[in-house]
Amino acid sequence: MSVPPEFIALYSGLLRQGPGLPEDVLWALERLGLSGPLRVCDAGAGSGADCATLARALPEAAVEGIEAMPEFVAAGQARLAGLPNATLRLGDMAALTGPYDLIWSAGAIYFLGVTEGLTAWRKALAPGGVVAFSQGALQGGDEPQAVRDFWAPEPGITTCDGVLAQVEAAGFEVIGTRLLTGAPWQAYYDSLSARIEALRPGASPAMAEVLAGSEREIALWKQAPDRIAYLLVLARPR
Ligand X SMILES: C[S@@+](CC[C@H](N)C(=O)[O-])C[C@H]1O[C@@H](n2cnc3c(N)ncnc32)[C@H](O)[C@@H]1O
| Binding-site member from 10, 21, 28, 44 for ligand X (CB under 6 A) | 44
Helix (H, G, I), strand (E, B) or coil at 68: coil
**16 touching ligand X, by CB under 6 A:** yes
Continuous H helices in 16-134: 22-32, 49-57, 70-79, 114-122
Task: Closer to ligand X by CB, 172 or 185: give it.
Answer: 185
**214 touching ligand X, by CB under 6 A:** no
Residue pair 35/58 in contact (Cβ under 8 Å)? The answer is yes
Distance CA(203)–CA(238), nearest Å, equals 51
**237 touching ligand X, by CB under 6 A:** no
Rounded to an integer, what is the distance from CA 83 to the centroid of its chain?
21
Tell the smallest beta-carbon distance from residue 2 to ligand X (Å): 12
**53 touching ligand X, by CB under 6 A:** no
Task: Closer to ligand X by CB, 22 or 162: give it.
Answer: 22
Residue 204 CA: distances (Å) to CA of 14, 17, 75, 91, 198: 20, 22, 23, 31, 13
Judged by CB under 6 A, the stretch of 54-62, 64-72, 201-209, 219-227 that binds ligand X is 64-72
Count of residues in contact with ligand X, rule CB under 6 A: 21
Largest CA distance in the chain: 54
Judged by CB under 6 A, the stretch of 16-24, 169-177, 178-186, 221-229 that binds ligand X is 16-24
Q: Between 100 and 129, how does the x/- string for binding to ligand X read (CB under 6 A)?
A: ------xxx--x------------------
Beta carbons within 8 Å of 224's beta carbon, 6+ residues apart: 144, 146, 147, 150
Tell the smallest beta-carbon distance from residue 25 to ligand X (Å): 10
Residue pair 115/170 in contact (Cβ under 8 Å)? The answer is yes
Q: Any idea what DSSP says for residue 93?
A: G
| Binding-site member from 69, 80, 96, 170 for ligand X (CB under 6 A) | 69
| Binding-site member from 22, 39, 92, 187 for ligand X (CB under 6 A) | 92
Cβ count within 10 A of residue 197: 10
Chain contacts with ligand X (rule: CB under 6 A): 16-18, 20, 44-46, 49-50, 66-69, 72, 92-94, 106-108, 111
